[in-house]
Amino acid sequence: MKSHDRVAGKLKTSNSKPGKPGVARQPEASSGAAPPAKRAKTGTDRGAEKRFPGDKTGSAAKAGKPARSSRTRLSKAAIAEMFRRFREADPDPKTELEYVNPFTLLVAVVLSAQATDAGVNKATRALFKVADTPEKMVRLNEEGIREYIKTIGLYRNKARNVLELSRQLIANHGGNVPRDRAALEALPGVGRKTANVVLNVAFGEPTMAVDTHIFRVANRTGLSSGRTPLEVEEDLLRVIPSEYALHAHHWLILHGRYVCKARRPECPRCLIRDICLFEPKTQ
């Protein structure tokens, strides 16, 4: 059973009364900055008063100490319960990008900008069979790389970036992917989100790579009301309990991809429906 199936279906949903469908705004996956996220005009206070297991006061807004971020509308107790449920449903979530080592992971994440993981995997299965190291990628050259990834959006520019980052890894890092944010972001085609994914997946760092799914889920649930991916990242790193930090990125992205969808979130099968502050919820 896949990760998202476990997350979506293992636990019971709340008996909260659904409202009319609504969609929160979110940034494009490849955008460096997000447009202002709209808060629902109604339902925020009402949603904050919903009960959930572990809330000793009976109020998600009042349980425990106030949230550690002024942009976070959930209490510490509510946040802890949210991620406890995610972990219970899916203890060891994984990225859906296919890779064989840190280098192929880096390449896959670079290629995934404005593309689906499934589309990237389809192209890289053949590519990584012939070029799974920077040295082999350089020998393949730009034209050869393009032939493998031409089904992916922006493939010409991505092929150029993959070739150049491979050259830089050889010249500056002995052919290895550096475990350093600044060094990663200095590579062609690598921004903060890509660096966060590599640090998290390849090296086990508790980073938060905010893409369009995580941005949407964070703002809908009340984990953050940040207006940019960086603001949301900062909020999540502050408020998510350390015991959940390593896998939090994957839980949130899978939840956004398969349950808390952009056009019509599937609230009836959401395992955090009674905690989430998004209004109105779908039937």
- Measure CA 268 to chain center: 22
Q: Is 99 exposed, middle or buried (0-12, 13-18, 19+ CB in 10 A)?
A: buried
211 is catalytic: yes
Residue 209, both tokens = 């790579």
CA dihedral 90, 91, 97, 99 (to 10 degrees): -150
Pick the catalytic residue from 50, 90, 158, 211.
Answer: 211
Give one word for 114, left, alpha or beta, with left for phi > 0 and alpha for psi -120 to 50. Answer: left
Give, to the nearest 10 degrees, the angle between helix 155-173 and helix 102-111. Answer: 150
Pick the catalytic residue from 50, 158, 193, 281.
Answer: 193
CA dihedral 266, 269, 274, 276 (to 10 degrees): -40
Task: Round to whole Å and give the CA distance between 120 and 258.
Answer: 18
17 is catalytic: no
Residues labelled catalytic? 193, 211
